[in-house]
Amino acid sequence: MPHPLADVKSLLLGVVLVFSGCGAMTSKSSGHCSPKRVSVATARSEQPKQLLRVEGHYLRRNGITRICSGVIASGTPRCAGSSLTVRSYRPGRHVTVHHANGVAWTSDTVQVFGIVSGTILRPGLCA
């Protein structure tokens, strides 16, 4: 069962994103908060020094959260392809998260706003 404070943090982050204009953005938005949408592989290889919208699959295993290019769900679920470690991120309540063998993951992709440094995606907000 998730910690109640984690739910509060996720909710507050969502509220901030919506009020900053990031929550409802599409790839065609033109507001002050329109981070480039990239794949995990692109974010990892290019590492631009700017806020990105990284799209991939959520996977949490052994207390470590990753966003992955894909997930292999047979046996113990694990990342397939490129991945980034994500600090302080949990999918919102609207996202279906699967659980097996102590691992949580999504079949659908999620989008995480943040800045990449090495193999770490640090969630960030729009200015």
User: Which uninterrupted H or E stretch holds 42?
Assistant: helix 40-46
Domain that holds residue 89: 4-123
pLDDT at 27 over 60: no
Whole-structure pTM over 0.75, yes or no? Answer: no
pLDDT at 26 over 60: no
Helices (H), strands (E): how many in the chain? 2, 8
pLDDT at 127 over 90: no
Task: Show the beta-strand stretches assigned E in 3-77.
Answer: 36-39, 52-61, 64-72
Tens of pLDDT, residues 52-94: 999 999 999 999 999 999 999 888 999 999 999 998 899 999 9
More confident residue, 62 or 8: 62
How many distinct structural domains can be found in the chain? 1
CATH label of the domain that carries residue 35:
2.40.50
pLDDT at 28 over 70: no
Residue-level pLDDT at 9 = 45
